[in-house]
Structure 1
Amino acid sequence: MLFAVGTQLYFFVTITLDSTRPPMAPDAGIFEHLGWYLTHGGRLYVDAWEPKLPLSYETTGVLALLSGGDMYRLHLLSVVLMSGAVCAIVALVVMLVYDITGDDIVAPLAGLSMFLLPGFAVRPAYGFKTKYLLVLCGLLAIYLYTRGYPALSGVAAAASVGYWQAGAIFPLIVVGLAVQRRDMRALERVVAGGLGFTIVMLLPVFLLWHSASEMVVQVFLVPLQTEEHASLLARFVAGVVHFKWTSLFVVLGGLGLAHTARHCFTGTDGVVGRTEWWIPVGAAWFVFLILFVDFETGGYTDLIPGLAFVAIGLGMVATVFRDRQQTQYLSAILALVLVVNVVFLGSVGVIFTPVETPGPEPMSDLETHDLPAAYDEAEPVPDVRYLYWQQAEPSTCHYRLSVMELRWLDRIDSSVDSRCLDFGTASARLRNG
């Protein structure tokens, strides 16, 4: 936990505070600008195209209100939130593994394993990223249920889905835990908490933005129509590239997950019981997503949700060691690897190229943003970070221009300056296309 806090403080001071206009990741610019835009009359899904449920933008909208409209302060609040999420994720992994193993060496080992991905520690310094909150809420849902708070567990599980649809596995896990224990009262509270939070989350869509039809198109229809084209081999290789030399520890974590899955069914392990089925199930879900559904191979952040289960798997494999000294050796080796990961691969780079991170860019460079070659007929558009720092409202709903968005526009034979479509119009375009 101290390692997590230390890394976040270091990157916050050396990256975020070390500039009058801090460097910002492009996707952070989208989240933070749209949060600000919503506080100035923008309507999600109508004035701004977005394939996620609204919770991310409601979160940055609240941060925008807290910042008083100051864009520098909004970015700082976003970085603080992300850094806090990193520390909380590590703490939750430690507590969940300790609850299972009761081992005060294995549990911190699992928590530290979150830093196997070099970019995990440094990415929060560049702004808002929804996948950190997805993992935080998902693990929190499981932890709260095991501690006897089913209603709050349902709320946290619903929040994980609100941050990214792939978080749907977490409500299923907490419902499954209640069913396994045959605790109908807890099940009712889980469902009530989840439904209550979902209703509150969607209220602005129906009452404020009046964008329910457009939300259905962008959140549910678009992902089905814009599949990733990377091959299975390309996805696998990309995972190895992003983890670099810690890929061996990822394999070790996978063995721990396999060990857990085996003993969930046989019940022959003295540590892992049948109630730990959620560990291999959650891991299998995110492996499926990475290999077959949603993995932008050029970036590493899609690996973060699955990384949490790899870390837990490493904690589980450490329980196999009969000699406590072997566990201590593994912990020491892992600690050394993680220091190199964070200090060298996360910033300046030794042995391997460091994680690619954005530096401060002149506003003149952000003022125009060229589209991919397939969209050369369109006029260059401003980078979303330019809109953010200039506090400018977009001229079209298609201003994030992600790969998925451009694929969608191509699928419906539309242009970047077209309006966001409702469900009826989008369905007609797809039928005619």
Structure 2
Amino acid sequence: MVSRSRIRGRIDWLVVLGPIVAVLFAAGLGRHLLVAWPALATDPAFFQHTGWYVLEGGVPYVDVWDVNPPVPFGITAVLAALSGGDMLVLHALGTTLTVLVAAASVLLVGWVAYLVTETDAAAVAAGLTMLVVPELFLLSPEGVRAQFYALFFGVLALALVLRDRPFLAGAIAALSAGSWQSGGVFALLIVGMAFQRSGRRGALSAVAGGGVVTGVVVLAFAAAGALVPMFVQTVVATLTAGSSYTLAERGYTILLVFGYGAVLLPVALYGWARAAVRDIRERWWIPAGGLLLAAQVVFVDLDGSTDALLWLAFVALGVAVAVERVTTRQSVPTDRLSGDASRTTRHWVTAVAVVVLLAALVLSGLVWHFGSSPQQSTLRTLQEGAEPEGESLPISPSDADVPSMQTIYWEQAKPETCHYRLSWNEVRWVAMTDDRLDRRQCDGWPSRTDRG
């Protein structure tokens, strides 16, 4: 672990970051309640309806086709039980929990940054970096989305393993992977970090923790006869039915997601490089996680801002390492005439300047989000799951005789077909496998999975 800076800030990082997070998330929630409540976006409507449907006897991946892992369905099933079957109450619970989870994720990133750098300014910088993508606090009030929970569980697992709790860290990391496939990166990192900190015993403990959670899920779906369709939809379909893209299009989407905050990407890259070169034995997992999740957004899945949230956490940690370098360098005497007071002043000036600059980027993110530029319209189109431009399919969602996801949710419908979410991934899968949109149950292997 890095040594403590000889001059530490006197203001605890949480005292600075906590109120900022509280204000922004409260403002995001308040805006949603005033402007859009109780309107439902398609993804939250789907996850929350599926949770209710489970209590009514529906089986995910058999009665409901979806590429997402099962943990969000378990969460919404618990919320549905607490709601007493009232869909408005269920929506309120989903909104409240997701806002709390997203806000806690920002604070957890700050905590992880502090555990790594032991520098208050670096911890605040990491948290503020998370907020430069305003969809984190503007979309979380819409309800349950898988990426918010994958982020929360993943960063919590990092904090736990840094506190030498490998079994619990492994279990929580498994929940991240079970929320969204890219959360599997956290599971890999946790095992490696546990081995680094505690040797083989720590790694085995982390694997055991993850194994317990995974075993429970596997047994539950095996008992329900849904293990095979779960694997087909969350693994096979995910790998084969993704949208087409070019690297230029993905790079453009990354810039759309980050907006003015894209200026922090080179800073994060410097932080990753510094961690790899100067402290590879302790901090290898920061550049490793950053690069693995960068590959995810570039090559696998980036249909909107929420798909970049896990990568954003490692961008934030890279920025924290860079800020640690800047602030601690200011506390080192550069000439023999420099006194303690002078060094402390320079340290504080640098730390405050960094925080102010990042706060300005957070505000600029709001300007970018609410701007009426064509670029932002493009991003919102991607987030709504529109068909990628230039992709030609023999079928479309409109070919299915099902109501909208919002209608299904509010009317508490039990659809007669398993294809009713009708994302473009789902439609591509149906086209690739010669399946039918009116299939009643999605309960087996496809006859083919090629595009020919």
- TM-score bracket, normalised by the shorter chain, equals 0.7 to 0.9
Aligned 8 A contact 2:61 2:443 in 1: no
Cα gap change, 1:418 to 1:94, in 2 (>3 Å): same
Q: Displacement, 1:13?
A: 2.5
Distance in 1 (alpha carbons) for counterparts of 2:450 and 2:47? 32
Tell me the secondary structure at the aligned position of residue 270 of structure 2: helix
Q: What pairs up with 1:15-34 in 2 under 5 angstroms?
A: 15-16=32-33, 22-34=38-50
Distance in 1 (alpha carbons) for counterparts of 2:418 and 2:27? 37
Aligned 8 A contact 2:68 2:179 in 1: yes
Distance in 1 (alpha carbons) for counterparts of 2:450 and 2:125? 53
Cα gap change, 1:379 to 1:156, in 2 (>3 Å): closer
1:229 lines up with 2:262 in the alignment: no
1:8 lines up with 2:19 in the alignment: no
Cα gap change, 1:103 to 1:41, in 2 (>3 Å): same
Q: Displacement, 1:61?
A: 0.6
1:341 lines up with 2:365 in the alignment: yes
AA in 2 matched with 1:187:
A
Normalising to structure 2: TM-score of the pair?
0.84
Distance in 2 (alpha carbons) for counterparts of 1:432 and 1:146? 45
Aligned 8 A contact 1:90 1:111 in 2: yes
Q: Displacement, 1:83?
A: 0.9
Q: Displacement, 1:379?
A: 4.4
Structure 1 stretch displaced more, 403-412 or 142-151: 142-151
Aligned 8 A contact 1:54 1:202 in 2: no
Structure 2 equivalent of residue 394 of structure 1: 415
Q: Displacement, 1:232?
A: 0.5
Q: Displacement, 1:57?
A: 0.4
Distance in 1 (alpha carbons) for counterparts of 2:40 and 2:272? 35
Encode CA deviations 1:280-339: one digit per residue, 9 max, x unaligned.
Answer: 11111110111111222xx22111110011111111111222232233212111112212
Cα gap change, 1:357 to 1:224, in 2 (>3 Å): closer
AA in 2 matched with 1:3:
I
AA in 1 matched with 2:267:
L
Structure 1 equivalent of residue 225 of structure 2: 210
1:375 lines up with 2:395 in the alignment: yes
Q: What pairs up with 1:193-208 in 2 under 5 angstroms?
A: 193-207=209-223
Q: 1:55 aligns with which of 66, 71, 77?
A: 71
1:241 lines up with 2:256 in the alignment: yes
Distance in 2 (alpha carbons) for counterparts of 1:432 and 1:315? 44
Tell me the secondary structure at the aligned position of residue 395 of structure 1: coil
Distance in 2 (alpha carbons) for counterparts of 1:172 and 1:180? 13
Distance in 1 (alpha carbons) for counterparts of 2:287 and 2:419? 39
Tell me the secondary structure at the aligned position of residue 141 of structure 2: helix
1:319 lines up with 2:324 in the alignment: yes
Distance in 1 (alpha carbons) for counterparts of 2:420 and 2:319? 41
Tell me the secondary structure at the aligned position of residue 436 of structure 2: coil
Structure 1 stretch displaced more, 96-105 or 179-188: 179-188
Structure 2 equivalent of residue 429 of structure 1: 448
The percent of aligned pairs where both chains have the same amino acid is 32
Aligned 8 A contact 1:295 1:302 in 2: yes
Distance in 2 (alpha carbons) for counterparts of 1:429 and 1:419? 19
Distance in 2 (alpha carbons) for counterparts of 1:201 and 1:215? 11
Q: Displacement, 1:30?
A: 0.9
Distance in 1 (alpha carbons) for counterparts of 2:271 and 2:451? 50
Q: 1:147 aligns with which of 159, 163, 175?
A: 163
Encode CA deviations 1:219-277: one digit per residue, 9 max, x unaligned.
Answer: 12112221331101100011112211111122222222222222234xxxxxxxx2111
Tell me the secondary structure at the aligned position of residue 295 of structure 1: coil
Aligned 8 A contact 2:256 2:376 in 1: no
Aligned 8 A contact 2:115 2:162 in 1: no
Cα gap change, 1:254 to 1:177, in 2 (>3 Å): same
Aligned 8 A contact 1:254 1:313 in 2: yes
Aligned 8 A contact 1:345 1:353 in 2: no
Aligned 8 A contact 1:98 1:106 in 2: yes
Encode CA deviations 1:95-153: one digit per residue, 9 max, x unaligned.
Answer: 11112222112211111110111312101111111111111111111111111212111
Structure 2 equivalent of residue 417 of structure 1: 438
1:169 lines up with 2:185 in the alignment: yes
Aligned 8 A contact 1:228 1:295 in 2: no
Encode CA deviations 1:387-418: one digit per residue, 9 max, x unaligned.
Answer: 10111111210011111101100101222112
Structure 2 equivalent of residue 332 of structure 1: 356
Structure 1 equivalent of residue 297 of structure 2: 290
Aligned 8 A contact 2:154 2:183 in 1: yes
Distance in 1 (alpha carbons) for counterparts of 2:111 and 2:374? 32
Aligned 8 A contact 2:126 2:320 in 1: yes
Distance in 2 (alpha carbons) for counterparts of 1:392 and 1:17? 28
Q: 1:262 aligns with which of 255, 270, 277?
A: 277
Distance in 1 (alpha carbons) for counterparts of 2:451 and 2:157? 43
Distance in 2 (alpha carbons) for counterparts of 1:204 and 1:164? 18
Encode CA deviations 1:52-75: one digit per residue, 9 max, x unaligned.
Answer: 221110111111001111111111
Normalising to structure 1: TM-score of the pair?
0.87
Size of the alignment, in residue pairs?
Answer: 404
Aligned 8 A contact 2:68 2:181 in 1: yes
Cα gap change, 1:82 to 1:431, in 2 (>3 Å): closer
AA in 2 matched with 1:295:
L
AA in 2 matched with 1:254:
L
Distance in 1 (alpha carbons) for counterparts of 2:373 and 2:443? 50
Structure 2 equivalent of residue 251 of structure 1: 266
Aligned-residue RMSD, C-alpha: 2.3
Aligned 8 A contact 2:271 2:320 in 1: yes
Structure 1 equivalent of residue 117 of structure 2: 101
Flag structure 2 segments of 5+ consecutive residues without an equivalent.
Answer: 1-17, 331-346, 382-391
Q: Displacement, 1:422?
A: 4.0
